[in-house]
Amino acid sequence: MTKLPINGDLVGLSVEPIAHSWTERDTMLYALGIGCRPPEDLDFVYEGRGPKVVPTFAVIPGLRAMGHAMQRIDINLAALLHGEQSVVTHRPLPPNADITVDGEIVAVWDKGKAAVIEFEGRGSDADGPLFTVGASLFVLGGGGWGGERGPSGSSATNAAPERDPDIVVERETRPEQAAIYRLSGDMNPMHIDPEFAAKAGFPGTFNHGLCTFGTIGHSVLGAWCGGDVDSFESIEGRFADQVWPSDTILTKIWDEGDHAIVEARTQRDNVVVSNGRATKRS
């Protein structure tokens, strides 16, 4: 198959519906991978209590649809960085499901020395739409083809307010967390193989960005939505820095009434997810 070059012609490139399924074992494994643990998170890791499904689990089937699209494009995967991510749940995710996922590339921007590809994925089951996920991918060396530069990033309205957060949630990441998270489908050796990470120029392995995204989403669910998956609607954010094994993630939440602004840092005070925003279902 001839792969498509990166340019504006990619907009509208779609993924035909793909059958996908999961079981409660998959949702509990995901929960463990993003740092849930008993007894405080028993609802998400024990079938005797449901289990409930962490809403950001939607990135797992969404990643499958995005992967199908990326396979059709001429991309050096070593030059691909995950820039932003969003999840909208149209209703709570069930612990067992048979769904179809599809999606399309909705924008491509020329940043000069790099390109940004924006993808939207959708999941539906027999009862209708279940979730919509969005991803912004930064492709080093993929720009310079004369396209529009596009927006600079997430809306400035998502910037952290100049006041103390209303809620701060502190979650420790465990040394084996990336090794568990990858079993949910993202098998990139960058997150488990020190030799592979060293060849890519890193001092060691680090956690998946989507693992961090899930940890933050779970913190928002618990602290801002009272753990109520019926209340949680959406979360988005921009990946700003890496989380290393055994880091502590501090999720800061500003309650703005109809939405929350979210930012996450580690114990070193480096921002790892910025321009975050969450909403509750009305």
Residues serving a catalytic function are 186, 191
Q: How far is CA 180 from CA 6, 17, 50, 177, 185, in A?
A: 33, 28, 21, 5, 10
Taking the C-alpha atoms of residue 20 and residue 4, their distance in angstroms, rounded to an integer, is: 26
Q: What is the b/e burial string over 27-52, where b = at least 16 CB atoms within 10 angstroms of the residue's CB? A: bbbbbbbbbbeeeebebbbbeeebbb
Task: Work out the end-to-end distance of the chain between its first and last CA atoms, rounded to an integer number of angstroms.
Answer: 46
Taking the C-alpha atoms of residue 258 and residue 45, their distance in angstroms, rounded to an integer, is: 30
Measured in degrees and rounded to the nearest 5, phi and psi for residue 118 equal: -105, 130
